[in-house]
Homo-oligomer: A and B are copies of this chain.
């Protein structure tokens, strides 16, 4: 994120800032607010204030508080969830699932995404936004990485990567939403090991 101080000419000058820049500022402010103060304190008004834009500008791009929170969340965690590609699928999956667990447990992101998924169960528009802007694209990144591993011969060709997504990241969401057991990096390691090597003896 670009850092600016109060009164910088680019904000107060007569020319309008490019839309992309304004949008990036709003997303940056939304993500920062969310991860700092959580969903309960998240309002369009506060994002507008932090980003130095009007509420009208925000409403032009985001129809609701939920969709703005979702985009802010996605923007804030994007770098933490980058998918490594070292050519070794076991190492890459382990690193990615570990990073996901650290994000969910070591930052407020876990409560934020749990709250969004929770709210989406009775808010069809939010569920659609969540799928289009978050879970869908995240799923595709993981599937693409696993298809590359299939091309390299590291994963069985008859395995469906879309199902492996549910058995790795879905397993983490299960412990996030129904915390009967702890979400740890050891858990991440074992998810990958179980799935690659199998736990049957037959």
Q: Which residues of A line the B interface, CB within 8 A?
A: 89-90, 114-115, 117-122, 127, 130-131, 135-136, 139, 153-156, 159-160, 162-164, 166-167, 169-175, 177-181, 187, 190-191, 194-202
Given contacts A159-B194, A191-B163, A194-B159, is CB(A122)–CB(B131) below 8 Å?
no
Task: Give the residue of B127, B177, B195 whose beta carbon is less than 8 angstroms from that of A199.
Answer: B195
Q: Copies per complex? A: 2
Given contacts A163-B194, A171-B171, is CB(A155)–CB(B114) below 8 Å?
no
What residue in chain B is nearest A114 (Cβ atoms)?
B121
Q: In the assembled complex, how far is the CB of residue A73 from the closest CB belonging to chain B, in whole angstroms?
A: 14
Q: Is the pair B130, A121 in contact by a Cβ cutoff of 8 Å? A: no
For the residues of A in contact with B, the DSSP-based class is helix
Q: Which residues of B contact A174 (CB under 8 A)?
A: 166, 169-171, 173-174
Task: Give the residue of B118, B175, B202 whose beta carbon is less than 8 angstroms from that of A118.
Answer: B118
Question: How far is A139 from B174 in the complex, measured between Cα atoms in Å?
Answer: 12
Q: Which residues of B contact A131 (CB under 8 A)?
A: 178-180
Task: Give the residue of B117, B118, B173, B196 whose beta carbon is less than 8 angstroms from that of A200.
Answer: B196
Q: In the assembled complex, how far is the CB of residue A185 from the closest CB belonging to chain B, in whole angstroms?
A: 13
Q: In the assembled complex, how far is the CB of residue A93 from the closest CB belonging to chain B, in whole angstroms?
A: 10
Q: Is the pair A178, B135 in contact by a Cβ cutoff of 8 Å? A: yes
Given contacts A118-B121, A121-B114, A195-B198, is CB(A181)–CB(B166) below 8 Å?
yes
Q: Which residues of B contact A177 (CB under 8 A)?
A: 117, 120-121, 173, 177
Extra contacts besides A166-B174, A194-B195, A196-B199 (14): CB < 8 Å:
A90-B200, A115-B121, A117-B121, A119-B122, A121-B177, A131-B178, A135-B178, A135-B180, A153-B201, A154-B200, A155-B200, A170-B173, A195-B198, A195-B199
Task: Give the residue of B119, B122, B159, B170 whose beta carbon is less than 8 angstroms from that of A175.
Answer: B170
Given contacts A173-B173, A191-B167, is CB(A178)–CB(B118) below 8 Å?
no
